[in-house]
Amino acid sequence: MRGSRTGSPGLRAPRSPDARRSGIPAALWAPAVLALAFLVLPLVALVVRVPWSRLPELLAAPEIATSLGLSLGSAAAATALSLLFGIPLAWVLARSAHWNPVARRSLRALVTVPLVLPPVVGGVALLLLLGRRGLLGQYLDAWFGIQLPFTTAAVVIAQTFVAMPFLVLAVEGALRGADRRLEDAAATLGASDWFIFRRVTLPLIAPGVAAGAVLCFARALGEFGATITFAGNFPGVTQTMPLSAYLALQSNPDAAYVISLVLLVVSVLVLVSLRDRWVSGVTA
């Protein structure tokens, strides 16, 4: 009988929370596919346009090997400096809950400015600070005879400036998500602050540190604007892979495509190494 049916006509029985979470609304598929195409198709175009028949010849060019070695070495050095200085900075940010809110927000804003600052502006700022007539550079030159601009050290400094915030934010997130009860227990047992940091905190936040280091390395590897402004574009000294690709695009497009392909492959390999547990360390 019709009257024996339960529920109102046209209404479905409510789904369980798990069922609701597992579904993807149909209205989201079209923009999701468009977004994916927008992000992937330029990379596909690059792969298609690479002169594969000349790939061994172009890869054997000495300038590519030189710029790749410089890029990998400088990015590794920038990552090391970011680890050395970025982890303590992330610690200060994560443990600043008792600070004045304005001071805390101001400090975090200063740390994250390089993320949104145009890289060329960052290069100009570094030049005004460390150039021969810069705020600090004039004293480095007068007292020690050190001139940083347009040197390999300038490449590392520029890459560190733009890449360190990635590591700081990742480590800060891991610190905020870490269980502080373990630190409190170690302190109760008489452990020093330095011992707690080395033996308790660092192992807890290791996934976040690893993820931050990988992101920092990838960002440093692709740095262009601050590098060309502060370090210049001198082959074998400051000409990294992005700079080499830009220069080759004007005179030898095939070489530019190959250099871009190498950068794409290296970047993908670096990002693939971000395992799920490292990503969970960032988002903790």
pLDDT in tens, 227-240: 999 999 998 899 99
Q: How far apart are CA 210 and CA 170, in angstroms?
A: 9
Q: What is the second-level CATH architecture of the domain 49-283?
A: Orthogonal Bundle (1.10)
Output the pLDDT for position 19: 47
State the CB neighbour count (10 A cutoff) for residue 130: 22
- The residue written with tokens 């080499």 in the block is 244
| Statement: residue 103 has pLDDT above 90 | no
44-90 pLDDT, tens digit each:
999 999 999 888 888 888 888 899 899 999 999 999 999 999 999 99
pLDDT (mean) for 172-198: 84
Instruction: State the burial class of residue 92 (Cβ atoms within 10 Å of its Cβ: 0-12, 13-18, 19+).
Output: middle
Q: How far apart are CA 171 and CA 48, in angstroms?
A: 38
Q: What value does the mean pLDDT of the chain take?
A: 85
The answer to whether 186 and 196 are in contact (CB under 8 A) is yes
pTM exceeds 0.85 for this model = no
Q: How far apart are CA 212 and CA 207, in angstroms?
A: 9
pLDDT (mean) for 194-222: 88
pLDDT (mean) for 171-194: 84
Q: How far apart are CA 244 and CA 61, in angstroms?
A: 12
262-275 pLDDT, tens digit each:
889 888 887 787 66
Output the pLDDT for position 105: 84
The backbone region for 7, taken as left when phi is positive above 0, alpha when psi lies in -120 to 50, beta otherwise, is left
pLDDT (mean) for 131-159: 92
Output the pLDDT for position 99: 77
pLDDT (mean) for 137-155: 92
Output the pLDDT for position 251: 84
The answer to whether 273 and 212 are in contact (CB under 8 A) is no
| Statement: residue 5 has pLDDT above 60 | no
SS (H, E, C) 202-250: HHHHHHHHHHHHHHHHHHHHCCCHHHHHHCCCCCCCCCCHHHHHHHHHH
| Statement: residue 160 has pLDDT above 90 | yes
CB neighbour list of residue 182: distance below 8 Å, 6 or more residues apart = 200, 204
Rounded to the nearest 10 degrees, what angle do helices 253-272 and 26-49 cross at? 130
| Statement: residue 121 has pLDDT above 90 | yes
Tokens of 189: 């047992």
Residue, of 17 and 222, whose pLDDT is higher? 222
Instruction: State the burial class of residue 168 (Cβ atoms within 10 Å of its Cβ: 0-12, 13-18, 19+).
Output: buried
pLDDT (mean) for 159-183: 89
| Statement: residue 6 has pLDDT above 70 | no
The backbone region for 43, taken as left when phi is positive above 0, alpha when psi lies in -120 to 50, beta otherwise, is alpha
19-40 pLDDT, tens digit each:
455 577 888 888 999 999 999 9
